[in-house]
Structure 1
Amino acid sequence: MNDVDARMDRLRRAARYRYERLVESEIERGSLDPDEVREERRLLRAKDVGQHARALIEEAERRGVFEGNPYHGKPLPSNDGRHDPDWWIRSKIEREQITGIAPPAFALRKEDAELDEHLDALSVERDVRDVLEDFNARVKEARRQLLGGPPVVTPLRDVDAEVVAWRDRREARAASDAAAAAAQAAASDTRPSRWWRRRR
């Protein structure tokens, strides 16, 4: 054992001693529950923490702690086998339809999915460009991860390509509306009116 390891070992033993004295004094003052301290010490001494955790879960199952849990014995919903540390917050947001407080990664992903529909409601190209530029600026800001949270995977939108797609959708809707109006007018012209049928 070299000098650094020996020094670190002495520091660890000193810290453990100070911690145990602190725990004992807190138990004497009544601010710590002796049963909880005993359980914590047992956990720290356990050689296999996973085995200890499984034993605690089995004990809790015998006491009925998990009764009424909708996920007991079932796979978690929306779990496709990949590790997702944010599954619980995402499922809560979807289940309760929470808006306005989601992390930027989730909020931008949802906004990206609904962006075409939002753009189609606009009638001026300048407004479409403004919305797209604002969206791209917020995606760039969120990618800096200044506030933390899950990574932002929402892609930037190409403003010029989106404007062309917006125009194409507008023209297709206008052509469809015109065709529907023409079909309706043709259908109403072929039927004789009631007064004409009565006179004949």
Structure 2
Amino acid sequence: MSDDTDDAQPPRRLNSLEDRNAVVESALDRAIKRGDFDDLPGRGKPLTGLHGSSDPDWWIKQKLDSEGINGVAPAAFQLRKENAVLEDTVDAFTEESDVRDYLAGFNARVREAVMDLREGPPVFTPPRDVEKEVAAWRRRRNAMKNDSVTEAEPGDPEAEPGYQPVDPESVGSPRRWWHRFRR
């Protein structure tokens, strides 16, 4: 027999929880002494995702964020949301060709969702007329340019951002909700 057999220990039976804990602790201590845990990536940095919320769907939300997936809903709901903010989305474009491309894509998604009867609720979002939307985009764009050209006098309250004129008839005590029922 060689000297290697003297170093090898026969496997012990771990009958109790204390025995198992002792084996694990001794293995961790040996690994620390060897330096197995030195220079690990993330050492000394806080753990991400421990902000105190107890959301049961944290893992799926984290996966969706890491994969860059947004808009996990039936096409009818996505198109409704997109249709509601379509003007704002289109107004962000600076080129007419971009507006046309976006509207063509939107109309293609609407047609595809209408034809696909397998998924979700029915689609009530109508396709948009590209020429009318482009003309409306031009009008809004020209109006924004004209508004930015006209300048108000300094110190004029109407020049302040967020200024809203007050209706003199609405000034006074607010109507209570129960006044609607008195007649």
TM-score normalised by structure 1 residue count: 0.41
Which structure shows the higher helix fraction? 1
Q: Using CA pairs below 8 Å that are at least 6 residues apart, which structure has the higher relative contact order?
A: 2
TM-score normalised by structure 2 residue count: 0.45
